[in-house]
Amino acid sequence: MNNTSISSSPNPIVRWLDTIAEFTGTTTAWLTGIMVIIACIVVGLRHLFGIGSIALQESVTYMHAAVFMLGAAYTLKNDGHVRVDIVHKKMSLRARAWVEVLGSLLFTLPLMIFIGWGSLEFVQESWRVNEGSTDSGGIGGVYLLKTLLPIMAVSVSLQAIAELLRGLLVLMNIAPAAEGASC
């Protein structure tokens, strides 16, 4: 059901939701290269010069969290999430649409609501105390890192709604599913 092209759906709401996921995924993807460079610098400094930097080490963790959490909706949009492809590939396009609709309604959306709602107090408390690193010389903005939890929940929820709508459009024979797509 997911298509790699943003304009793949005739529905403007689905296109708009896809655009959000595409934007967040592509704009955070560049962090992976920076993360690799900084990790190499951390290792090089430690092994070649005996110099350690807690802030540099923590920056890799922060970037990894940002890539993972801000890229989750992009991964869903581009059908990169885990599924049992052996079964899924043998299903008809309508059956795949049903799987996407039910998966969004029964799994993805409830999980994102749980994560989003469950993280709010955690994030609010972190902001209240202006939480920083527990390590001397670490990065200060732990509250910013924790804020990625509800942001991820919202972005994945929006993309799950796009997948749900795309599946419903297929099931209602309003929009045909592309043969090469997952639904």
Decide if 61 contacts 143 (C-beta within 8 A). Answer: no
DSSP state of 176: P
Decide if 86 contacts 123 (C-beta within 8 A). Answer: no
Q: What is the mean pLDDT of the chain?
A: 87
Q: What is the pLDDT of residues 8-46, one digit of tens each?
A: 666 889 999 999 999 999 999 999 999 999 999 999 999
pLDDT at 162: 94
Q: How confident is the model at residue 174 (pLDDT cuts 50, 70, 90)?
A: confident
Plot region of 15 (φ>0 → left; ψ -120 to 50 → alpha; else → beta): alpha
> Collapsing DSSP states into helix, strand and coil, what is residue 131?
coil
Mean pLDDT for the stretch of residues 158-181: 80
Q: CA nearest 171: which of 108, 121, 117, 100?
A: 100
Q: What predicted TM-score, i.e. pTM, was given to this entire model?
A: 0.82
